[in-house]
Amino acid sequence: MHCYLCRSDIADLDVLHFDHVVPLSRGGAHSMGNIKPTHGTCNQRKHNKLLSELDWYQP
């Protein structure tokens, strides 16, 4: 499994988080299509921003 934000492997399940791509606070749905695996640190760094608002995200 890999982090959709940094593209690195998530080797340790202790650091596995699931992120709402479009945050709930920004109108995103709580659905499988809006949830992707991330590292905890990447998820915290993203916070409640949209991908287009992240200057460090490379699609």
Q: Which two tokens stand for residue 10?
A: 């998530």
pLDDT of the residue at 30 = 96
Domain 1-59, architecture per CATH: Orthogonal Bundle (1.10)
Task: Say yes or no to pLDDT of 1 above 90.
Answer: yes
- Residue-wise pLDDT tens digits, 14-52: 899 999 999 999 999 999 999 999 999 999 999 999 999
pLDDT of the residue at 59 = 84
CA dihedral 14, 25, 59, 4 (to 10 degrees): 20
Task: Say yes or no to pLDDT of 53 above 90.
Answer: yes
The residue extents of the domains of the chain are 1-59
The angle at the Cα of 46, spanning 42 to 50, to the nearest 5 degrees, equals 140
pLDDT of the residue at 20 = 98
Q: Which two tokens stand for residue 54?
A: 């992240």
